[in-house]
Amino acid sequence: MIVSALAASLILAACANTTERYESYTTALQAKGKMRTERDPDDAPFTKDDLARNFIKIAMYSEYDEELAAKPTEKILGRWEEPIRYTFFGKGVTREDRKQMRELAFRVSHLTGQKIEPISNKSNFVIMYLDEAERRKINQEFQERWGDEFAEFNVRWASSWRNPCIGRLFYNKKGEITLGLVFIRNEIEGLFRESCLHEEVIQTLGLTNDDDDVRPSIFNDDEEFAFLTRHDEYLLQMLYDPRLSTGMTVKEVTPLLPSVLDDLYPRDET
């Protein structure tokens, strides 16, 4: 998510600290009718054709190219094939953060059949709530482990409040996701904090892109919806449908989507 609204920026400039900035930004968004929490909004209908088109946009493209520049780039289908074992990192992790993740993990697991469970060690999915000092420290550790390119990407996130949260994932040669990292600035509280969790966790499951024309969805930088919607639940189910396989290209995925949607999408909906 990227903070870009000029009006919000003017409000934020007067705030004393970053936590207050995010609170003011959230309030400004809600005043504009954004950060909505409905799962299935009446004013944003969608069809099977919409879902097929949006799946290609969100699941078959990445927000970043190989140089980590912000540029939508076609990719192969990627998803988790092994159980997800998640853990938390950061002094600011709260009981509520853990509860929200348990609820989200249960919901996603029910939709996809993917096993998602908390674990204290040997995790492959790390959710980090980091303050400024922790961000500096972890960037240094990442630079030592993965090199300057990866560290530079995280520095861009850590250096500005305009980048509240990001997700990173790693693939093997088959297109299977083997490691997921979610970074959330610990200064964020309340609705915006949970919204960050929803968006970055779901993107790190393989729905990697954002597109301004996809609605109703969290995969959209206009911040209209705060949480996973019914539309997004369909995208998740499509991604983990057994008729699709990791490593597939757009050309291979596209002709399979009508049969997938015929089974997923209720017959009485158009």
Q: What helix, strand, coil percent values describe the chain, rounded to 5?
A: 45, 15, 40
Confidence at residue 9, expressed as pLDDT on a 0 to 100 scale: 47
Q: What is the pTM of this model?
A: 0.89
Within-domain flag for 269: no
Residue 148: count other Cβ atoms within 10 Å of its Cβ.
10
What percent of the chain stands above pLDDT 90?
Answer: 70
Within-domain flag for 45: yes
What is the DSSP-derived secondary structure letter of residue 122?
A: S
Nearest-angstrom CA–CA distance, 37 and 22: 18
Nearest-angstrom CA–CA distance, 233 and 44: 15
Nearest-angstrom CA–CA distance, 219 and 232: 8
Closest CA to 197 of 177, 218, 176: 218
- Residue pair 239/248 in contact by the 8 Å Cβ criterion: no
Within-domain flag for 58: yes
Within-domain flag for 270: no
Within-domain flag for 181: yes
Strand partners, 88: 127
Confidence at residue 5, expressed as pLDDT on a 0 to 100 scale: 46
Within-domain flag for 1: no
Best-predicted range by mean pLDDT (103-117, 120-134, 140-154): 103-117
pLDDT category of residue 150 using cuts at 50, 70 and 90: low
Confidence at residue 265, expressed as pLDDT on a 0 to 100 scale: 83
- Which domain CATH number covers 65? 3.40.390.10
Give the total number of structural domains in the chain. 1
Confidence at residue 210, expressed as pLDDT on a 0 to 100 scale: 92
Within-domain flag for 197: yes
24: part of which helix (H) or strand (E)? helix 18-31
Within-domain flag for 151: yes
| Residue range of the domain that includes 168 | 6-264
